[in-house]
Structure formats: structure tokens, C-alpha cells
Amino acid sequence: MSEPRDLRHATVGDDQQDLRLDRALGELFPSESRNFLAKLISNGKVSIDGTPAKKPSQRVEAGQAITVEVPAAAPSSLPSQDLPLTILHQDEDVVVIDKPAGLVVHPAAGHPDQTLVNALLHHVQDLSGIGGELRPGIVHRLDKDTSGVMLIAKNDDAHRKLTAAWNTDAVRKEYLALVYGTPSEDRGIVDAPIGRDPRDRKRMAIVEGGRRAITEYELVERLRHASLLRCRLHTGRTHQIRVHMKHLGHPIVGDPVYSGPRWRGIPDRKIQRVIESLHRQALHAARITFPHPRDGRVMTIESSLPEDLLEVIQALRPSGAMGSQPVEPEPTG
């Protein structure tokens, strides 16, 4: 039986006259990535006026007939694994999940499986392929021990559009962070460049010449020895909120890399025990707002604080404070 294929046809227009073939294909077939199209050219899957194209750099002329053979997406080389996964939203282009703390996003050294990608391969049945492979398109990452909302693309077109919008004002990323102490101002902006820590390459730090990073924060609740902050990312650097909160002088509770065991300085032994039992940074991706890649409609998906963080917040509330109600992001204007 012949392998399933998708033949696509187009005619080179005046706007593509004398362009490189791979660039012209990018304009004629915008739903595919330029790298993927270049690979198809190299594999003999692109014809010009019935003749196989020679290389991605050859020039095209207006009026030429282009045929592109897109092979069926290959099965992922990664195993599908039935891991618990909470799906907050799903449609033909995107899936939004509520990532638990402790779950690694991608297979890597030390974590060959049991990751979010393995779980998505089991739970999501209509992936149409990213770069020619049936796999989910990870638009952004959360650290292993950060919980909350994550956005995943199901196809190349959605992945490319969401990735392009990610560090623009079209996407709004809001987190809830439990930090030691209370900032002197109820709201503010940290604008400080982040790069690899020259003393420890496994950490990030505020460094001269680093990539610009901007975090907006707002006080949500004053607690004993700590505060709950709402943080909005205007950029997406590695460990950005964790590094910026440390720079602010109020590192995130439970962060083993950027705060250490600061709970030891708290005189209340009960609070010490609660924080010591957390075993992860108290950081939660609470809300994401993004333009849907198919029609541009604005979508907002939220995730409630998980129980482990709610228990710590309740323990830090002043004696007599009312109940343990989930703290949600306020509506945006």
C-alpha cells in the first residue's frame, strides 16, 4: 500500500518573482514552516512545472506551477504514556492543560519519559503534526516544580502563530507567587537583564549584557513572614520570576535554588514545618490570555491554586483570618 500523501498546488505570483524557492514556498504555503518546506525540497518532494526542484536556494519565476508533496506526519518516536493530566480546554488547534508540580515538560537527560509530552501523546488523539511528526507543539515551558496553565499547539500553523505572538502584548501571562517578606511598594516593575550566572552555569542571574527581562508585580495578600504576589511576565526568560523576586529581595518561598531554607529564620515552628514540607517553589501559572491561532479571538484560561500552596497560604495567614478560599487573579481590563 502506498504511503498517504497530501499534494498541494500553487502558482508563483508576481510578488514571488526571483525569490529563493524556500522563501517563495513560505509565502505560498504559510501553514508550513520554512524549515519543513526546505526539508521537502531536499527530499525531492517539490516540483516546478513538473520537474523536481534541485535545492532550496534556486530562484523561481512568476507563472511557474509548484507542486508540494507533504507526506503523512510520522508517528512520534516518543512513547505514549497514560499519566494523570487535567485538560482545561481543547479544540482542533490547541490544548490547554493544568500542569501539576513535579512534572517535567520534555524528555531529556535524566528524564527519558514520564513527561508532559508523553502524557499528551496519550490524551490528545488528533495531533496533525509538528515538523512532520505526530507530536504536541510546546509553545512555552514551566519549570518542573511550577504548577499551572500551559498552552500546547496541535499543528504546525497553530504552533508558529502562537510562538510568534508569545513575547508580544497579545499574550498575557499571570502567575501567583508566594514570597518571603513584603515588598516596600504594593506594585512595581522589575526591569533587569537575565543571563547565566557566571559562578554557576546551572543558575540564572541578573547579569550585565543579559537578555532584557521585565516582570510586573502586585501585592495580593499580606501574610505572616510572607506575601502573595500577582506577577505578569512581559518577557519569557528562564527562571524569570524566580530571579527577579530574589533581585527584589523577596525570593519565592520553597525555591531551592534562589531562596534556600529561609524558613529557618521564622520563629514560629509550625510555619517552619509547613514551608519545609512544601518541597517546591511556591509559584503557580494562574492565567493565560492569548489570540486563538485560527480566528484571532481572545481566549482566557485560568487555573486555581493547588492544595499544597493553599495549605501554606492558610498557615501563614494571621490568627483569626477567615477560611482558606482560593486566591484567583483579578479580572483584567
CA 36 to chain centre: 22
How far is Cα 142 from Cα 151, in angstroms, rounded to an integer? 10
Active site residue 143: yes
Instruction: Give the residue from 175, 168, 165, 256 showing the smallest Cα distance to 215.
Output: 175
The radius of gyration of the chain's CA atoms, rounded to the nearest angstrom, is 24
What are the cell numbers at 40? 521537502
Active-site hit among 22, 93, 98, 143 = 143
- Give phi and psi for 256, each to the nearest 5: -70, -20
Residue 208: other Cβ atoms inside 10 A: 6
Phi, psi of 131 (to 5 degrees): 60, 30
**Beta carbons of 236 and 281 less than 8 angstroms apart:** no
Using alpha carbons, select from 147, 141, 130, 132 the residue that is nearest to residue 293.
130
Judge contact between 135 and 77, C-beta under 8 A: no
> In 134-281, which ranges are continuous DSSP H helix?
156-165, 240-248, 269-276
What residue ranges in 139-248 does DSSP mark as E strands?
A: 147-153, 172-180, 187-191, 194-197, 200-206, 214-223, 226-233
Residues annotated as catalytic (active site), given as ranges: 143
